Amino acid sequence: MYNMKLIEDTIDSIPNIDELIDKSYNGTCFAYSWFMKLKNANKIIKFVNDKNILVGFMPLFLNEDGTNICQNTMYIPYGGPVFFNVPSTTRRRIKYIRIIESLLADYLKEKFTDFSFSIDEKIIDVMPFIRKDIIPEVRYTYKIDLGNTIDDIYNGFGHDRKKEIKKAIKGSLEFYLDSEMKYFSPEKCVEWEKKYNFPSSAKFVEKYIKKSIDVDRGMCFIAKKGDIIYGAVYMAWDSKTAYILYSYFDSNYDVGAISFLYYNIFKYLKEVKKLAYIDFEGSVYETVENYNISFGAYQARYYNLHYSKNNKNELYSNMYKYYEK
* Domains of the chain: residue spans and CATH: 4-139+301-318 (3.40.630.30), 147-275 (3.40.630.30)
What is the amino acid identity at position 196? Y
Give me the tens of pLDDT residue by residue for the chain, a chain 325 residues long: 589 999 999 999 999 999 999 999 999 999 999 999 999 999 999 999 999 999 999 999 998 888 899 888 878 999 999 999 899 999 999 999 999 999 999 999 999 999 999 999 999 999 999 999 999 999 889 999 999 999 999 999 999 999 999 999 999 999 999 999 999 999 999 998 898 888 999 999 999 999 999 999 999 999 999 999 999 999 999 999 999 999 999 988 888 999 999 999 999 999 999 999 999 986 677 888 999 999 999 999 999 999 998 876 666 556 656 555 4
pLDDT at 75: 86
pLDDT at 314: 62
Task: Round to whole Å and give the CA distance between 280 and 112.
Answer: 31
Task: Round to whole Å and give the CA distance between 81 and 104.
Answer: 9
What is this structure's pTM? 0.93
By DSSP bridging, strand 69-70 and strand 43-49 are unpaired
Beta sheet of 298-308, edge-to-edge order: 69-70, 114-119, 298-308, 135-145, 277-279, 241-249, 228-237, 218-225, 174-177
Round to the nearest angstrom and report the end-to-end CA distance of the chain: 44
pLDDT at 282: 66
Task: Round to whole Å and give the CA distance between 3 and 5.
Answer: 7
pLDDT at 288: 87
C-alpha distances out from residue 186 to 245, 252, 292, Å: 12, 19, 22
pLDDT at 321: 60
Q: Calculate helix-pair angle for 257-271, 159-170, nearest 10 degrees.
A: 90
Residues in contact with 74: Cβ distance below 8 Å, sequence separation at least 6, in sequence order:
323, 325
pLDDT at 19: 97
Closest by CA to 28, choosing from 190, 174, 143, is 143
Residues in contact with 183: Cβ distance below 8 Å, sequence separation at least 6, in sequence order:
176, 220, 222, 224, 229, 232
